């Protein structure tokens, strides 16, 4: 099965979706599975994982409802209030929906560098482990230390690093990010999505070679069997078409064996998220 492990869907709401700035006006509209389903087929994908874009329980329910209509959605990574004293009740309720595979918080928007290592958040992670839910890490450099602490303290929890930790591709800075990737990859319970790369580059002037050292480093550290592809559609459209998003990754992946490529393009995501 060939899987796009990172897509978003929304009914655009200007009051709610303030993260979509004027610079991002191209995606200030509705995006639903019908808008991408044929493109997925044309590129040989069997389905996708829908990932939250809004931090509300209503968002999680919205993605579940979409999955009941569109079979291309093989799994949902929703949002739940991990810091709530009622987290157990929330997870018990969400566990009734097999399509929900895990959760994510938009930590990159949190100014608190210790966000991921706070006691109330860690208790929420313990709840995810109990219910066998995954957790997607969306972070920036200020969160590197607390990310490592969170992962270190939760060896039984399955973590997925989104967008290879959003390296500074535009400036071509490398060392700080690379050291973090090497440290994080040392934990066997962490996987990594090779996703969202074009939007970290110069949106209008990127070249394929701008991405090569970052992708190669991730593959060197995590290995081909703990990495997977995600398009970050429709956000990727700000800088690259769907086909270009694939090409950015294909330039490096092409040297691997057929079996290894099958793992990267689908089987690893199937195993991590327990997709069917």
What does the mean pLDDT of the chain come to? 97
Please give the pLDDT value at position 134: 98
223-237: b (≥16 Cβ within 10 Å) or e: ebebbbbbbbbbbbb
Take residue 19 and report the two structure tokens written for it. 């993260």
Supply the pTM of this predicted model: 0.97
What would the pLDDT profile of 136-173 be if each residue is shown by its tens digit?
A: 999 999 999 999 999 999 999 999 999 999 999 999 99
What pLDDT shows up at residue 141? 96
Q: How high is the pLDDT of residue 180? A: 98
| pLDDT band (50, 70, 90) for residue 95 | very high
Which tokens sit at 134? 């995954």
Residue 86: CB atoms within 10 A of its CB come to 10
List the beta bridge partners of residue 73: 48
Matching residue, tokens 């040989």: 44
What CATH number is associated with residue 229?
3.20.20.140
Residues 91/127, Cβ–Cβ less than 8 Å: yes
What is the reported pLDDT for 270? 98
Closest CA to 55 of 35, 29, 74, 81: 81
pLDDT digits (tens, 9 = 90+) for 231-246: 999 999 999 999 999 9
- The alpha carbons of the chain give a radius of gyration, in whole angstroms, of 17
- Name the helix (H) or strand (E) containing 104: strand 100-105
The C-alpha atoms of residue 223 and residue 114 are separated, in whole angstroms, by: 28
Q: Report the pLDDT value the prediction gives residue 44, as an integer from 0 to 100.
A: 97
DSSP conformational letter for 85 = T
The SS3 assignment for 173 reads: coil
DSSP H or E run through 160:
strand 159-161
The pLDDT assigned to 94 comes to 98
Distance of CA 162 to the CA centre of its chain: 4
pLDDT, position 80: 98
Rounded CA-CA distance 152/154 in Å is 6
H-state helical runs in 78-196? 87-94, 119-130, 144-152, 175-185
**How far apart, in Å, are the Cα atoms of 181 and each of 20, 190, 268?**
28, 11, 19
pLDDT at 97: 98
Q: Which of 217, 203, 215 is nearest to 246 (CA)?
A: 215
Query: What is the percentage of the chain residues whose pLDDT exceeds 90?
Result: 99
Report the run of H or E that residue 261 belongs to, with start and end. Answer: helix 258-262
pLDDT one-digit tens code per residue, 253-275? 988 999 999 999 999 999 999 99
**How far is residue 167's CA from residue 144's CA, in Å, rounded to a whole number?**
12
- What's the domain count of the chain? 1
Full domain range(s) for residue 44: 3-273
Helices (H), 170-256: 175-185, 212-222, 242-253
Give residue-wise pLDDT tens across range 192-224.
999 999 999 999 999 999 999 999 999 999 999
Q: What is the pLDDT of residue 167?
A: 97
Residue 23's pLDDT band, with cuts at 50, 70 and 90, is: very high
pLDDT tens digits, one per residue of 58-81: 999 999 999 999 999 999 999 999
């Amino acid at each position: 099965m060939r899987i796009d492990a990172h897509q978003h869907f929304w009914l655009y709401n200007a009051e709610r979706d303030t993260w979509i700035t004027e610079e991002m006006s191209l995606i200030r509209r509705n995006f639903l599975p019908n808008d991408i389903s044929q493109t997925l087929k044309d590129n040989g994908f069997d389905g996708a994982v829908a990932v939250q874009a809004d931090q509300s329980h209503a968002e999680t329910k919205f993605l579940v409802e979409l999955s009941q209509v569109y079979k291309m959605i093989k799994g949902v990574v929703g949002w739940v209030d991990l810091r709530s004293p009622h987290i157990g009740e929330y997870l018990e309720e969400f566990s009734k929906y097999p399509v929900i595979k895990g959760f994510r918080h938009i930590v990159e928007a949190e100014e608190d560098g210790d966000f991921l290592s706070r006691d109330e958040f860690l208790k929420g992670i313990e709840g995810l482990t109990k219910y066998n839910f995954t957790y997607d890490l969306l972070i920036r450099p200020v969160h590197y230390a607390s990310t490592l602490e969170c992962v270190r303290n939760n060896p039984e929890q399955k973590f997925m690093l989104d967008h290879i930790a959003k390296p500074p591709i535009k400036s071509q800075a490398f060392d700080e990010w690379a050291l973090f990737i090497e440290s994080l990859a040392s934990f066997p319970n962490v996987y990594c999505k090779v996703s969202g790369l074009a939007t970290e580059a110069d949106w209008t002037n990127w070249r394929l070679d701008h991405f090569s050292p970052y992708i190669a480093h991730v593959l060197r550290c995590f290995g081909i069997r703990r990495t997977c592809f995600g398009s970050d559609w429709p956000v990727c459209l700000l800088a690259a078409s769907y086909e270009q998003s694939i090409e950015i990754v294909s330039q490096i992946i092409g040297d691997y064996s057929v079996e290894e490529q099958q793992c990267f393009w689908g089987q690893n995501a199937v195993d991590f998220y327990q997709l069917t």
